[in-house]
Structure 1
Amino acid sequence: MTAPIAIENVRPEINCGRYPAKTIEGQDFYVSAEIFKSGHDLVYAVLKYRKKGKRRWNIIPMDSNPNDIFTAKFKTDGIGFYEYTIEAWKDSYGSLLKDIQSWYNAGENVEEDLKVIMEIIRYSYNNSRGDDKKFLRSSINEFKKLNVDKKIEMLKDQNFSAIVKKYQKKPEKTGYCKNLWLISDPVYGGYASWYELFPRSLGNDGRSGTLRDLINHLGYVKSMNFNVIYLTPIHPIGITNRRGKNGSRTASPGDPGSPWAIGNSSGGHYSINPELGTMDDFEDLVKSAEKLGIKIAMDIAFQCSPDHPYVHDHPEWFYHRLDGSIRYAENPPKKYYDIYPLNFEIKNKKALWNEMRNIIIYWINHGIRIFRIDNPHTKPLDFWEWLLNEIKSRYPDVVFLAEAFTKENLMFELSKRGFTMSYTYFTWRVTPEEITSYFSELNSEPLNYFFRPMLFTNTPDILGKDLWKGRNEFIIRAVLASTLSPLWGIYSGFELCENDHLGDTEEYLNSEKYEIKHRDFDSPGNIKDIISKLNIIREENPALKTHGNIYFCETTNNSILAYARYSQDFKNIVLVILNMDTDNVQSGYVRVPLGTLKINNYIYDAVDVLNNNKYKWNGEYNYVRLIPGKRQAHIMVIKC
């Protein structure tokens, strides 16, 4: 089929339309394309979108911009899957109006041409309805009374021309060659502040903490203004080959083992470790957290201890050695004797895949809407595409975080296949140059259409070497994580600046993965107040709630990092400026790109909402002086 109008370079379009783009419920979703035809006639284009399963399209006129670029935006009316596409046709009204204006300016008689354009208007009137019809009827009657100048002025009126174009004929109508997909996630799929903890570490007097203890601890987490609590695995823990302190091969009596070695005689993935409590306790936790505006995120690790019921009931689900024994988990040079990995590519994989889906659904039915998936990059891509589509089609309010520290292409592919958000290399991006390069990439097209970065300052597995420097570095990393992405989180103890490390490794000394911790949550030197303030700043500034909107600013000092975050309408602009040197005062000039950020005033206020100061700034270059221990960073809200 021939296409008289070219519709090209439609954005976003992920892998030629194979995968959906992502948006958040309530946020504007922008679509653009290059649309043009031969000759001098103008083109009229519309964006069409609808929710999956609906027959009727919502239609939005696209704005014409220089270089044949057309743009439009819409907000999804709920969560779930959508499709969108573009149609275009010759703009008879706009083309003739352009010619009339040109002829009239050249002194030509345009009376006959005005009669022709009136026929277009009458056609639109005859096909219009409701208020549009009333408006056109009144306008036609008024048009007859006007002189040529006023007639042309009326024809150019934006509201009038929009209604005429809405109902005019559609010669040379051309549709884009495909419908594209979009997934609209709930807000917590794109904007959230996470706090990770081990429930067993919340007990007193040396005993294991319980889910009831966690209910009592909710107020502490809420005081720092986090809105998601991420639980490490809460299932029964294996006995066989249980790992001891600091991950040693041999456990001592009383060692609790790693929660990621799932399953014993008490049950597996459907069960709660009896030491933590009961299902009633769990459901009370979910409800109690919800009352405080906190969602519970659950860790899902599709792996088993040697004591898991699956080992007895479904030995065919595991990898086997030549001697018939089940193979332990391996990540050379390490072997994990307390864990058996599942084999997702067995001959009869359907039963295993269905069981993994049923685990997710089971916990959904007990109130969970956020899942953190452990090591998804070690399972087949087609499994994830199937599983995530199965869940999202039934439960569109469920979101998934991919804990995938792997090569970039695989990390990005997992997001395309359905993961809502993903871990990143943030931990290992430390210098201003590294941060600028990495986050410029993550905020660029097409990544920003489908990859949502989750920035954890630390994890039970990773204590970044930069944090060994102490409290000032903890502040730097908290400011970075909370302002570089709308998704950020900390692992418990970060607010206390815990940084004892195992030798020269990124592992924690006396890792909480293998023992119960008892913390003084009011210990001196903590940064709880700073973290609380960061989360308040995030909540109050729309610029920090979206992804893909960052501009790294020039500075005259290589130790100072500066970047601007801005809302889609540029009504909210946040400028983050950090001294990346934890020991020395650093000063210099920061360039604020007034034109790029649409700041129209030469003199404007820079309100430091982190330190409660206000500055009067002039033009693009402004001076800053940052003092470790006193003022490590500015977070400026620009008022103009």
Structure 2
Amino acid sequence: MKPIEGRRRVIVEGIQPQIDGGRYPAKRTVGDNVTVTAAIFSDGHDHVAARLLYSHASDTTWGTARFTELPNDMWAATFPVDRLGTWRFKIEAWVDHFDTWSSDLVKRLGAQPDPTNPSANAVPQDIPLALRIGANLLDAAGDRARGADAAQLKAAATDLCTLAEQNLPYYAGYPVSDEIISLADSYPDLRFAARSDRELEIWVDRERARYSNWYELFPRSAANVEGVHGTFKDVEKRLPAIAAMGFQIVYMPPIHPIGRSYRKGKNNSVSALDGDVGSPWAIGAAEGGHTALLPELGTFADFDLLVAAAQTHGMELALDVAFQCAPEHPWVKEHPDWFIIRPDGSIQYAENPPKKYQDIYPLNFESPDWRNLWEALYGVFKFWVDRGVRVFRVDNPHTKALPFWEWCLAEVRKSAPETLFLAEAFTRPHVMYSLAKGGYTQGYTYFTWRTGKAELEAYFTEINNAPVADFFRPNVWPNTPDILHAQFQVEDLAERRAIFQQRVILAATLSGNYGIYGPAYELLEGRPGPTMPGKSGSEEYLDSEKYQLRTWDFDAPYSIAPLITQLNAIRAAHPALQANANTRFHTVANDQLIVYSKSTAPELPSDQLGAKGQAALAAAAKADTILTVVNLDPKNTQSGIVNLWMPSLGLPWEDSFEVEDLLTGARYRWNGQYNYVSLNPALPAHVFRIVR
């Protein structure tokens, strides 16, 4: 079948960033420069030109940026995003007849016979004819232009015709000024331009989407008095200390009324005793459901004061949204068809065999009344957004319908585009990534279970680079209230302290977003809870806060709060650690040492002597570059020769340079790519700044 326009000769393909053929938007943050690449080519030797058209969804006009040619028919263009929300872009490409003519004319002029220096090899060039062709192209550009530009182009065309009529024996110099070339380039012939098949989208979040430090605490333990239930006011008293540690987001598990039926006792006992407080994730009681407060925590006035107090300390309050219900939740009585009814007429409780959660009813996303269910769940977010909350950690989103999240998160962002959503989804990669594509700002990762050097390098190479990095933002947690990894379950205090330090250093320097469940983390909580039937070990905590009140000794001499404070200060001072782009792993012949760098500048090109290489060197000299070395062995000193990939540090291969350890203040002179390191588990890392 013939195309509608067969004279459209340019092909545009392989456009990036593009998620699933444009089904989902790629992600960026305010202030980013979005680089768009594509393969753009045509038949023959005619030159091709292309431009990028971009706009915010609320704009009625499009900005433009010209594409720059890269090797192998690849092209790149960049545009800035300075507002929250959806941005659009598309590509327009055409055969550039004027640039083709201009390039050919340079060749013709260089090959014309010189009457003052005859050569038998010179090929006669019909320069006057070439000039007339150029005059026609400039005249056509003048027809497309307006006002003074049109007059200038028409005059240039006349000048070329006049020059052609002189029929000179030799033409010295190129006859068209740079100004005219630039002006002609501004009025391309787009009659047969090819255009990308569809507008592609970028979703732009605020900076906190890219860079955040999270601190999780249970408000009911905030009183820090044995047996006394904490309140929002107690949390407010803790805020100065949390802010002083450098955290930006304070995250609280569910703060709603807790069901009483089948309430869990201490250490996940199936039988609660009098006074047992139950699990905050068993949401709903006579006092209300997801838009009500646990009375023991305080009133809405207290909550509003807590939100404001967090902002006063430069932090934000994050709430846990867990879409599940205790048996007494109002929805169970009002909307029984939102749940799964078993053959005996009872409602299906949550199970993850062999685990049973009789205190929790999951929602049924195949309910005949799914539309009203969706609206009710969206209403939960809307309720808390209206109370000033802009950050949500969502519990187990992978157990809810994926189309629901795509709709719900978009609805929330219509009125509050600055809202951030963290997906607590330790699940299969495709599901985890689908949540990110569907609107989740950040996602938990497999970092907790990636303990060896090879698996750490492989995993962070995957998630810190395209295509995954275009839609998935990792949020790295060494621990959570649900997960006490076996590596932390060490009796020896020195060894346990080493592993806790090692893992938080890795988290803080490998990812722009990270968090800890504290105070358990800074106080080295490593006591495992009871082992479940059929399991060989436990990732539960002994005396878990999920089922009881806890008190903490914040003045304990073994606390690593000072190290965490130092790491957060380093992150705040160094933009290289506030993002995941330009992460490079380096080589060291010791599997117990891992070495990686982050920089605000891209890698140097292989040719550092050319003009582009010199410009890249100049940019690298102004960049922030951090080089981290971590000892993965919590028992022994480890050493080795580090083999650095110098271009990723913005340094020539043979350069001598200085590094400053931001953890100790020590400085070292390093020479070239090979350098010796040795790390004791007592402080298992160097976090080096490349000194410029």
TM-score in terms of structure 2 length = 0.87
Matched, 1:174 2:201: no
1:65-76 paired onto structure 2 within 5 Å: 65-76=70-81
**Structure 1: how far apart are the matches of 2:132 and 2:562?**
71
Judged with a 3 Å threshold, the aligned counterparts in structure 2 of structure 1 residues 436 and 152 are, in CA distance, closer, same or farther, namely farther
Matched, 1:497 2:524: yes
Output the amino acid matched with 2:96: D
Find the partner of 1:616 among 646, 669, 673. Answer: 669
2:146 and 2:231 map into 1 onto residues whose CA distance is: 64
1:253 to 250, 269, 274: 274
CA distance in 1, matches of 2:681, 2:159: 70
Q: Residue type of the partner of 1:340?
A: Y
What secondary structure sits across from 2:514 in the alignment?
strand
Question: Unaligned regions of 5+ residues in structure 2, if any?
Answer: 114-124, 164-169, 491-495, 531-536, 603-619
**Counterparts of 2:136 and 2:485, CA distance in 1:** 71
Alignment-derived partner of residue 238 in structure 2: 217
Q: From the superposition, tell whether residues 495 and 204 of structure 1 become closer, same or farther in structure 2 (CA, over 3 Å).
A: closer
Note if contact 1:123-1:168 (Cα within 8 Å) is conserved in structure 2.
no
Q: CA deviation at 1:407?
A: 0.9
1:590-629 equivalent positions in 2, closer than 5 A: 590-600=642-652, 602-629=655-682
Superimposed CA distance per residue, residues 382-430 of structure 1 (whole angstroms, 9 cap, x where no aligned partner)? 1111211222233211121111111111111111111111111100000
Which residue, out of 542, 554, 557, partners 2:590? Answer: 557
Which residue, out of 550, 553, 560, partners 1:520?
Answer: 553
What amino acid sits opposite 1:499 in the alignment? G
Normalised by the length of structure 1, the TM-score is 0.94
> How much has 1:113 moved relative to structure 2?
3.7
CA distance in 1 between counterparts of 2:60 and 2:25 reads 19
Structure 2 contact 263–270 (Cα < 8 Å) conserved = yes
1:164 aligns with 2:184: yes
Distance 1:270 1:478 in 2: 34
Name 1:575's counterpart in structure 2.
627
2-structure distance, mates of 1:133, 1:529: 68
Is residue 263–residue 308 contact of structure 1 (8 Å, CA) maintained in 2?
Answer: yes
Give the letter aligned to residue 584 of structure 2. Answer: Y
Deviations 1:439-469 (A, max 9, x none): 1111232111101111011000001112234
- Look up the SS of the partner of 2:584 in the other structure: strand
Query: Aligned Cα RMSD in Å?
Result: 2.5
Query: Residues 272-291 of structure 1 correspond to what in structure 2 (within 5 A)?
Result: 272-291=293-312
Query: Are residues 1:83 and 2:136 paired?
Result: no
Deviations 1:222-273 (A, max 9, x none): 1110101111111111111110101100111111110000111111111111
2:349 aligned residue (328, 339, 344): 328
TM-superposition CA deviations, 1:150-185 (whole Å, max 9, x none) = 647954xxx875553222323530001111121111
Counterpart of 1:588 in structure 2 is 640
Specify whether residues 247 and 160 from structure 1 end up closer, same or farther in structure 2 by C-alpha distance, changes over 3 A only. Answer: farther
Cα distance between partner residues in 2 of 1:149 and 1:511: 86
- Larger mean CA deviation between 521-530 and 29-38 belongs to 521-530
Of stretches 546-555 and 595-604 in structure 1, the one that deviates more from structure 2 is 595-604
Amino acid aligned to 2:686: H
- What residue identity is the alignment partner of 1:607? E
Amino acid of the structure 2 residue aligned with 1:519: W
Per-residue displacement from partner, 1:281-311 (whole Å, max 9, x unpaired)?
1111111111221011110000111111111
Alignment partner, residue 305 of structure 1: 326
Deviation at 1:27?
A: 1.4
Counterpart selection for 2:255 from 230, 234, 254: 234
Are 1:544 and 2:569 counterparts? no
- The CA distance in 2 between the partners of 1:237 and 1:270, in whole Å, is 12
1:31 match: 36
User: Are positions 1:638 and 2:690 aligned together?
Assistant: yes
Q: By how many angstroms is 1:373 displaced?
A: 0.7
| Runs of at least 4 residues off by over 6 Å | 129-145
Gaps of 5+ in 1: none
8 Å CA contact 2:581, 2:598 repeated in 1: no
2:541 alignment partner, one of 505, 508, 522: 508
Give the match's secondary structure for 1:167.
coil
Question: What's 1:488 paired with?
Answer: 514
Q: Which of 499, 506, 529 is the aligned partner of 1:473?
A: 499
Percentage of identical aligned residues = 40
1:208 maps to 2:229: yes
Counterpart Cα distance in 2 of 1:135 and 1:620 = 56
CA distance in 2, matches of 1:578, 1:560: 6
- Looking at structure 2, the residues matched to 362 and 494 of structure 1 have their Cα atoms a distance apart, in angstroms, of 32
Report how many aligned residue pairs link the two structures. Answer: 635
Aligned to 1:193: 213
Mapping for residues 400-479 of structure 1, pairs under 5 Å: 400-469=421-490, 470-479=496-505
Query: CA–CA distance in 1 between the matches of 2:276 and 2:331?
Result: 24
Alpha-carbon spacing, 1:130–1:361, altered in 2? closer, same or farther (3 Å): farther
For residues 190 and 574 of structure 1, the distance between their equivalents in structure 2, rounded to whole angstroms, comes to 17
